[in-house]
Each structure stands twice: as C-alpha cells, then as structure tokens.
Chains A and B, each alone.
Chain A
Amino acid sequence: MKKQVILSPSQSAAFAMGRVLIEFETWQRLHGSAIELERAILIDFAVQHPRTLIPIAPEVKLVLEANQLAKSDFGDLFAHKHFGGMREKFISTLNDLIARALVVQSVTDEVFTVEPTNEGLLISNHLSSAYSLALRALSEVFCSIWKRRPIDDLVTHIRTILPRDTEALIALGEPFGEWMSADG
C-alpha cells in the first residue's frame, strides 16, 4: 500500500478551504445567490465522495471518467463514517474562510446562507490545477441537480445508498505489491 501523507493542520485547512471556496464560487456563478448552509454541507460531502453517490447522481460518472477519477480508492471506504462528521468539519472550514474574509454568512428567511466575498471569488478563480478543475466540474453537477431538492430528502437519500465499509473493501480488488508502496 502506498505510504500515507500526513498534512499539517494549516495544510489540511487550506486544502479544505480551497475546495469549499470552489463550491461556493460555482453556486454563485450558476445561481447568482447565497447557498443554504445545509445544502452547502451536502454538496461538499458529495464532491468528496462522488463515486459513492453515482446511484443517485448518474451524471457524475461521465465527469469522473473525463477527469480520470473513475478508479475507486480507499476514500470511499470511509464515506459512511465521514457522513456522520461532515457538519463539524464543514463548519470549521467555513469559520476559517470567514476568518480570512473570503466568505460571509447571513440569515435569509430564518435560514443560514453563505456566499463568497469578492476576494473569495478572486482566489477561487485563481485555482486552476487539474484537481481544481475536477472539483469545479463535480461542484457544477451537484449544484445543478440539487438546486431545488429538499434538504431532508437529500439527507435520507444519501444515507440509504452509503455502502457498508466491508462491501467497499471487497469492491477494491487486489492489494498492491510491497515494492510499489515504497516512497521514492
């Protein structure tokens, strides 16, 4: 197995902030409005585990193939676990973005909403790596198909199709050779 890379808290935070900023930017671009906090959480989860959600979002499959993300990895193994803690992580990332004045939050009709600031949009647009493009493409898919879906339905739907950990492990296939896991 390939050696796991350990990131610092700031690196992890930066990684997450970049992903979430892209998601906010995409929503802003597509719909020209702030996004509900709950919906944003779900879209962020979906962007992180797109293969898991193919059963309820078949459109994702083409995007995955186009961006060479079709091969499954160990990330899907923990989708079920991540779903339970996604709110806390998202709030933490959101707070970091707010701390840097990249995102603002507001309450519209007693619903919390968030949207990127101009600086946030600027930085988001500067993110242009292949991974950024893949994230942006995935965000577009989920921001489009989940624009008007009731949030409760989305939660229930996602929870029902999350695979059990063992099933996901079996689906991964053969382990890698030892020499491949050595770092160069």
Chain B
Amino acid sequence: MARNPGLRFQRIVLIGTGRNYEVSLFPGVNIIAGPIFTGKSSILQLIDYACGSNSRPTYDEILKCSSVLMECLIDGEVLTIQRSLTDDNSTVFFYEYGLDEVLVGDCAAVEIPARQTQGQNSLSNELMKRLHMDNIAVKTAPSQTASALSTFSLRDLFFLLYVDQDRMGLKKAFFENDTFRRIKWKAGFEVVHYLFDESATSLSLSLKDAENEYTRIETYLSSINTFLNQSSIPKRSQIEQQLRALQETQADLETKLELSKKKAALKLGDDRELVRQQELLERELWLTEARVRETQQTLSQLGKLLVQYGREKNQLEFLEETELAISPLPIVRCPACFQPVQDTLNKVNCYTCTQPLPQESSSVAVQSRLRAVKRRVKDLSTYIGELQGEERDLKASSERLRRELAETNQRVKRIQESLIGPEMKVTLELHSAMNEVVSKRSSLEESLRLREKAEGHDSNLLRVKGRIQSLKEELKEAESKRKSPDEVISNLSALYADVMKAIKFPAPVNPHLDVNTYLPMIRGQVYGALSSKGALSLAESAWHFAVLQYSLTNDSLFPRFLMLDSPLMQVGRDAADDEFKDQQIVDAFYAWLAKLQKDHSANFQLLIVDNRPPQTGNDLVTVRFTRGLTDRYGLIDDEIGTIELEPEITAAEL
C-alpha cells in the first residue's frame, strides 16, 4: 500500500476581455473569505469545472471571460488545464507545463475529453494515472454478487473531495437519495482506504458471465424439452429399447428375404433356360423382321430401276426399227426450203437455200446398246426374283419365330404364375416390411439424437452451475480475505470523534462512522437525524476532516485535498439554532484548522469558503474579497456592481 502523491491547485486564471483575473492558492488551509456575491464559491466551482464537471459558473461576470486556466501540482509535476467558459465544451486543453508558459503561448497542448471516455484518453485518465488510481474497476451494482463494472474516475473521486454549498448542511449530504452517486461515493471511500478488492471484482465479472451462460443454456434447453414433450418423443431409454427391437426385426427380415430369394432361384432352375430361349427368340425375330424390311425396300428400288431399263429397251427397239426404216431414205427435199434436192454426189448443202442437209451419224450403237440393256434387264429380273424368294423365306421365318415366341411366352408366363408368383409375392411383402422397419428406425434415431442433444445441454447446465457455485465460493473467500474495514472505520471514527470534540460540537455523544455505510453517526443516530443546519454542516465537515486527517497519517489513496463551501453556515452568531449560536464553536473550528496547518502544513490543501472568518483565522485567509474600492473587490475585481454592503460588514471587521 502507498500514499497518494497528493493533489494541489496553485493558480486559477480567468481569461477576460482585455485582462485576466487570477487567484493564487497555497498548501495547507486556504480560507477564501469575503461578503456574498464576490465570487468565493466560484473559485471552488471553477476548480470543479476545470476537473471535468458539467456545471460551470453562470454568473454574468464570469461568463464575460472566455476560458479558465488552472495550474495544479501532482507529485512534483506542474500541469495546467484550460477549459472554455463560453460554451458547453466537453474537452479541455491539457498542458504538461506551468501556467506562465501556457500564457506566453509557447507550449503545445493535448485536447482531450474532460470526462472519462471509453476508448479515448481523457483528463480523468491523465490525473487519475498521476494519483495512482487509474484502471480501478468498480461494481455498478455492488449489492449484487454479479455486477457490471465501470472504471473509477476523477468525477467519482470529487464526490469525496468537494462539498458545495448546496450539499453542505443537507440531511442527506452523502447522496443517500441518489443511488448512482451513492454507489460511486461509497466505492471512492473504499478505494482510497484500500477497502476495495480488485480480485473480488474480477471474480464478480466472471460470475456474471457464468450466470448469463447458465440462463442462455437453460432457455435453450427449455425450448428443446418443450418441443420434445409436444412432439411426444419418448424418453431415451424407451427409444433405445425400441431401436434394439427394430434391429432384431430387421435382422430377421433380412434372413427371410435371403431365404426367399434362394428359393425362387432354385424353383426357376431349368426354367431359366426357357427364359434365355425366350430372349434369343425375341432377338432373332427382331433381326428377321429388320431383314424383311430391308429386302422390301431393296425390291422397291430395284423395281423402279427395272421399269427404267424396260422403258429404255423399248425405246431402243423403236429406235432400231426407225433407223432401219427411215434413216436410209434419201433426202428428196430440203427441210428448210422444201425445194427438191439435186441428185448429185455432194448432198451436204441445199443448192437452193444453201442450208446444210441432214447427215447420217450414229453416236450410239443401237444394237450393242440394246443387247446390254436386255442383259441388264435380265440380270435385274433374276436378282429381283431371288430377292423376292428371299423375302418370302424371311417372311416365313418371321412368322415361324413369332409363333415360337408366342408359345415360349405362354410357357414362361405359366411358370411365373404357378411357381414363381407366390414366392415373388412373399419377397415383395418382405421388402415392404423391411422398408417400414428402416423408416421407423430412422425416425427413432432422429429422436434419439434430439434426446442426446438435450442431455448434452443438461450436462452443460450442470457444469456451468458447478462453475457458478465455485466462483461464488471463491468470491466469498476473496471477500473474507479482504482487509477488514473495521480497523479503518475504527481509526476514522476515533479521528471523527476527536474533530467533533475539538470543534466543540454540542454534546457529541459517541460520534463514529457506521461500519457498513461509512456515514457519520452521532448521539446514536445517523447524522441526518440532527435537526439544525448548523449541526449538519459541522457533522459533515468533521467527517471530511477525519478522512483528510487519516490520509495524512495512514496509508491512503485520498489525495489530501478537500474543498468545503460554507461549512460554518448557520453556526455562530447568525445561527438559527441557539445551540449553535455560540461563537466559540467558530473559534474552535478555526483553532482546529490552525492546528492542522501547523502539524501538516505542506502535506495537504484545504480550501474553505467562509463569509466571515474570525480574526483568529486571519492567518489562514489566503483569498479575501472586500467589495471595497481599495482592496480586491471580488474574483472579477473590476466588476464592482451596485449592491449595498450589509451594515454589519464594516471596515474594522475586514
């Protein structure tokens, strides 16, 4: 364990129009004193805003300024944060330099989100890293064993560091009405006092994952089981039993089927030869009929050719006789002019018209040709005759084969019907039964797979349940090993009691911190039971002083920095409650502060806003606004306004 390096704010500068407004702060107690409306609370608000708060001071005077720069010191490192005042800018400029260098404009800045942002660097990351409080995961629902986690941020820390005047004096000043902030406040308290256990957080996350998985499997299993029940699927043992029975049945059927086939084969025996003969006859018939068709086609074509040759023969015979009868006849007249032809040796041309006279010539030896044609006709006729004989024979064969085939078909049919038929019937029935068994078996196997799947998920569920149980036990053990808050709370309670006594809280009966809620208890009741605002302010302030004081002398991650706005409201002579009208309480308060300053001056920083600190506290005042024309009027010291001073605030008091 170690101590926090500490957080200090040194200077605040508001960038105004034409000029800047600066406030310097110091280690130790810083009383910021002055009348109302001078900007005292604004100083604390500006520090809060620069550190990422969504609320910025909205006073007109401040809004005339463009931005706020804040110089802080962490572990010897000077840092400057600049944030705009003119719009709701969620980013800051972060300088690893002092404010003077930044004002000169000679250094580079990184623009980063003011608040923690997942996946990005932020001001929270930068400062928490330097305060040794980075990457701490806290539960968002700590009352649940399994809870989601979020990273402890600067804003979460500020719930402990800053009590503004709206919170001060409330009956529920520790976010009892705000669950989210209450959780963060409590987590912050545990973190700074080393009461927070990271391993328990990790186990918690694992437990949450395991519970989610359990829910998922349970839902899925439920849907499977619903389906199985609605589909009336039997239990696994029943399915397996039915499957075994079906397997036996199937084996039995296979044996019978085999036997039936053998029987049929044996009965067919010699008749198998008959079936072969049937096939041969069919083939032979087919071939014979094909030859018949071919022969007929050939005969048809040959017939046509025969006709052609016959006609040629006749024509050649006619030509022969006309050649013999007409060709030898002399030309007695010219065929062109019909003039008689002179009976001379030269009978080539007509004497009258000189046209050529017909001459004898034979390109075709008619007789030889005629002989050839006659021979061809004869051969053709002979061949046609042979083909016709062949056709007759083929037709006769075809007819014979057809008869034989018909007889064979009849015999085969008789055998099939009388001998094979019954056996075939048995075989068919066996096949049908076999198909049914196979189908049932397939359906049962599918059902078995579904059951096995459901059982698989059952065992998964048991396994996850076991894991959940194991994680819970581990978590319990981790939590038991965690540092006991009793010692811390006991120490804090002692300090709290001392403070309450020192500041002269009226009748501080048994002031302590509740070990579970960490809230201040007094007079046997939680602080909220106190009736007056003055009592509440004092009790709340004393609690914060105890925490601050604890961090100064013990191992603590508390950054030894605290801001309290008006802790003495309704205390002193203006108090409404007579019990707290005693000015001695105010004096005692400041006496305690002086002692704290004296004992630990450089090791902390405490900023307190007080309208009217007593004279005994003057040494602790580091910022004083007067509304006076000679001293600093206020934070924006050239905005003097027109408000009348209250009569009791006199120059003597200032």
Contact = CB atoms under 8 A, between A and B. Distances in A.
Interface in B310-336: 310-312, 314-315, 317-323, 325-327, 329-336
Contact of B314 (A5, A8, A130): A130
A17 B326 contact: yes
A95 interface: yes
A46 B335 CA distance: 25
Select the residue from B301, B341, B372 with max chain A CB neighbours within 10 A: B301
Contacts of B320: 129
A137 B146 CA distance: 128
A97 B558 CA distance: 153
B112 to A, nearest CB: 100
B596 to A, nearest CB: 132
A95 B380 CA distance: 40
B305 interface: yes
Interface in A87-121: 92, 95-96, 98-102
Given A69-B311, A130-B314, A176-B304, 15 more contacts: A2-B308, A2-B309, A6-B363, A7-B319, A10-B362, A14-B327, A129-B321, A131-B317, A174-B297, A174-B301, A175-B301, A177-B302, A180-B302, A180-B380, A184-B379
B338 A18 contact: no
A162 to B, nearest CB: 21
A101 B340 CA distance: 10
B332 A100 contact: yes
Given A8-B362, A18-B326, A184-B379, A132 B321 contact: yes
17 contacts: A9-B358, A10-B358, A11-B363, A68-B307, A68-B310, A69-B311, A71-B307, A99-B357, A99-B358, A100-B330, A100-B331, A100-B332, A127-B325, A129-B320, A177-B301, A184-B372, A184-B375
Q: Which 9 A-B residue pairs are closest in the complex by CB-CB distance?
A: A18-B322, A95-B335, A131-B318, A131-B314, A99-B335, A8-B363, A129-B317, A71-B307, A180-B305
B360 interface: yes
Nearest to A174: B301
A184 B373 CA distance: 8
Nearest to A21: B326
B358 A13 contact: yes
Interface in A1-47: 2, 5-11, 13-15, 17-19, 21
Interface residues of B, number: 50
B331 A99 contact: yes
Given A15-B319, A17-B326, A100-B329, A9 B301 contact: no
Contacts of A132: 318, 321
Interface of A: 2, 5-11, 13-15, 17-19, 21, 68-69, 71, 73, 92, 95-96, 98-102, 123, 126-132, 134-135, 173-177, 180, 183-184
B560 to A, nearest CB: 122
Contacts of B359: 10
Nearest to B376: A184
B241 interface: no
A8 B364 contact: yes
A11 B323 contact: yes
A184 B321 CA distance: 23
B325 A173 contact: no
Contacts of B366: 11
Determine the main DSSP class of B at the interface with A: helix
Nearest to B320: A129
Given A2-B305, A68-B310, A180-B301, A101 B361 contact: no
A10 B314 contact: no
A122 B317 CA distance: 19
B360 A18 contact: no
A71 B314 CA distance: 14
Interface of B: 297-298, 300-302, 304-305, 307-312, 314-315, 317-323, 325-327, 329-336, 338, 341, 357-364, 366, 369, 372, 375-376, 379-380
Nearest to B318: A131
A88 B309 CA distance: 29
Nearest to B329: A100
Select the residue from B308, B317, B357 with max chain A CB neighbours within 10 A: B308
B304 A6 contact: no
A130 B370 CA distance: 14
Nearest to A129: B317
Given A71-B307, A129-B321, A184-B372, A7 B331 contact: no
Contacts of B308: 2, 73, 176
Given A5-B364, A17-B322, A73 B307 contact: yes
Nearest to B333: A99
Given A129-B318, A131-B314, A174-B301, A8 B361 contact: yes
B301 A131 contact: no
Contact of A128 (B300, B321, B330): B321
B364 A7 contact: yes
A7 to B, nearest CB: 6
Contacts of B360: 10
B364 A6 contact: yes
Nearest to B305: A180
B487 to A, nearest CB: 125
A101 B332 contact: yes
Contacts of A131: 314-315, 317-318
A132 to B, nearest CB: 6
B652 to A, nearest CB: 144
Select the residue from B318, B334, B357, B361 with max chain A CB neighbours within 10 A: B318
Nearest to B323: A14
Contacts of B336: 95
A102 B326 contact: yes
Select the residue from A6, A18, A69 with max chain B CB neighbours within 10 A: A18
Nearest to B331: A99
A130 to B, nearest CB: 5
Contacts of B364: 5-8, 11
A5 B366 CA distance: 10
B302 to A, nearest CB: 7
